[in-house]
Chains A and B, each alone.
Chain A
Amino acid sequence: MNKKLFLLSIGIIIIILIIVLLIFLNTRKEENNNNLKIAVVIPLTGAVSEPGQDFLNGLMLAKEKLNSNNIDLYIEDSQSDAKDGVMACKKLLDTQDVDIIVSMQSAVVMPILSLADQYNKPLLATLISQNEFTQKSKNAFRLFTYAEQDAGLMADFANKKGYKKVSIVAINDEYGQSMAKYFKEKFKGSIIYEEKFEASESDFRTILAKTSGSDATYFLGYNPHYINFFKQREELGNNITILSNENMASNYIRSQVGSLYKNLYATAPPTILSDNIKEFKDEYYKKYGKMPDWTAPYGYDAYLVLDAIQKSGKKPIDALHQIKIQGLNGPISFDEKGESYLPLVVIEAKNGNVELVQQ
Chain B
Amino acid sequence: MFSAYLVSILILVGMAIIESLALQLAVGFTGLLNLGHAAFYCIGAYTAALLALAGYPFWLCLLMAGVVPMIFGFLLALLTNKIKGDYFALATLGFTFVVYAVALNWTDLTNGPLGLPGIPKPNLFGLDFSDNISFLILILVITLISYLIIKRITISPFGKVLAATRDNEMATKVLGKNTFKMKACALAINAFFAGIAGSILAYYITYIDPSSFTIMEMIPTLCVVIIGGLGSLEGTVIAAVILEILPEPLRFIGFSSSIIGPARQMIYALILLVILIYKPRGFWGKVKLE
Contacts and interface: CB of A to CB of B under 8 A. Distances in A.
B5 A19 contact: no
Interface in A1-42: 1-2, 5-6, 9-10, 12-13, 16-17, 19-21, 23-24, 27
Interface in B183-210: 201, 205-209
A3 B205 CA distance: 37
Interface stretch (B18-26, B60-68, B85-93, B259-267): B259-267
Given A45-B262, A107-B209, 4 more contacts: A1-B284, A17-B245, A73-B257, A172-B104
Given A21-B6, A83-B12, A95-B5, A5 B284 contact: yes
A6 B4 contact: no
B246 interface: yes
B241 A44 contact: no
B134 interface: no
Given A27-B252, A45-B265, A83-B212, A9 B242 contact: yes
Interface residues of A, number: 57
B211 A12 contact: no
A176 interface: yes
Given A2-B284, A77-B260, A107-B209, A93 B4 contact: yes
Q: What 9 A-B pairs are tightest by C-beta distance, nearest first?
A: A44-B261, A77-B261, A45-B261, A94-B5, A75-B257, A23-B252, A111-B207, A173-B113, A9-B238
A90 B234 contact: no
Contacts of A91: 5, 248, 251
A92 B242 CA distance: 22
Given A9-B238, A45-B265, A56-B258, A81 B212 contact: yes
A60 interface: yes
Contact of B115 (A45, A60, A174): A174
B113 to A, nearest CB: 4
B279 to A, nearest CB: 9
Given A13-B238, A76-B260, A176-B113, A90 B201 contact: no
A178 B114 contact: yes
A174 B265 contact: no
Interface centre among B105, B114, B241, B246 (most CB of A within 10 A): B114
Nearest to B101: A198
Contacts of A106: 114-115, 209
A223 interface: no
A20 B248 CA distance: 7
Interface of A is mostly: helix
A271 interface: no
13 contacts: A1-B234, A6-B234, A13-B241, A20-B248, A43-B261, A44-B260, A44-B262, A56-B257, A56-B258, A81-B211, A95-B3, A106-B115, A196-B105
Interface of A: 1-2, 5-6, 9-10, 12-13, 16-17, 19-21, 23-24, 27, 43-45, 47, 49, 53, 56-57, 60, 73, 75-77, 79-83, 86-88, 90-91, 93-95, 106-107, 110-111, 114, 130, 132, 136, 172-174, 176-178, 196
Contact of B249 (A16, A88, A178): A16
B8 interface: yes
B242 A13 contact: yes
Interface of B: 3-6, 8-9, 12, 104-105, 107, 112-115, 117-118, 201, 205-209, 211-212, 232, 234-235, 238, 241-242, 245-246, 248-249, 251-252, 257-258, 260-262, 264-265, 283-284
Nearest to A60: B257
Nearest to B211: A107
A256 to B, nearest CB: 23
Nearest to B286: A1
B245 to A, nearest CB: 5
A183 B211 CA distance: 24
